[in-house]
């Protein structure tokens, strides 16, 4: 069989893809349920704990009524504390519809 040649992306294309990827991730963080946000937060590697996306994750949790202590969240210990606060959240973000204001 003949292999297709692989093209390498230049720096501009890589930056554009990274920008699109970050935009999509931000959109997902803004619409995810509390449970999913807590799960994402628990899986972030240590270097990501101070990133723009981690701050957006914390902001999204706060918007959904979850109290997050940033110092404890950076250590990954806020998940257990916040799970009890989110147990009553079974439909937030699951129906694909718009959030109520």
* Element spanning 80, H or E: helix 78-86
Does 67 fall in a domain?
yes
This prediction's pTM: 0.46
* 50 lies in some domain: yes
Q: When comparing pLDDT for 1 and 100, which is higher?
A: 1
Q: Is residue 33 part of a domain?
A: yes
* pLDDT of 73: 52
Q: What is the dihedral of CA 76, 30, 21, 97, to 10 degrees?
A: 130
In a domain, 59, yes or no: yes
How high is the mean pLDDT of the chain? 71
Q: What is the pLDDT of residues 24-58, one digit of tens each?
A: 888 888 888 888 888 888 887 777 777 887 888 88
43-49's contacts with Cβ under 8 Å and 24+ in sequence apart are 49/73, 49/74
Check whether 63 has a pLDDT greater than 80.
yes
Tens digit of each residue's pLDDT (9 = 90 or more) over 13-25:
888 888 888 888 8
Q: Report the distance separating Cα 24 and Cα 15, nearest Å.
A: 14
Domain interval for residue 72: 12-86
Which of 68, 48, 49 is CA-nearest to residue 58? 68
Q: How many domains does the chain have?
A: 1
């Amino acid at each position: 069989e003949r292999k297709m040649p692989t093209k390498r992306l230049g720096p501009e294309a890589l930056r554009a893809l990274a920008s699109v990827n970050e935009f999509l991730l931000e959109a997902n963080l803004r619409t995810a349920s509390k449970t999913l946000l807590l799960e994402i937060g628990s899986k972030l590697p240590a270097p990501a704990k101070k990133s723009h996306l981690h701050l957006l994750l914390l902001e999204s949790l706060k918007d959904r009524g979850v109290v997050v202590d940033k110092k404890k969240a950076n250590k990954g210990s806020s998940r257990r504390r916040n799970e009890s606060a989110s147990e009553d959240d079974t439909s937030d973000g699951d129906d694909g519809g718009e959030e109520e204001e």
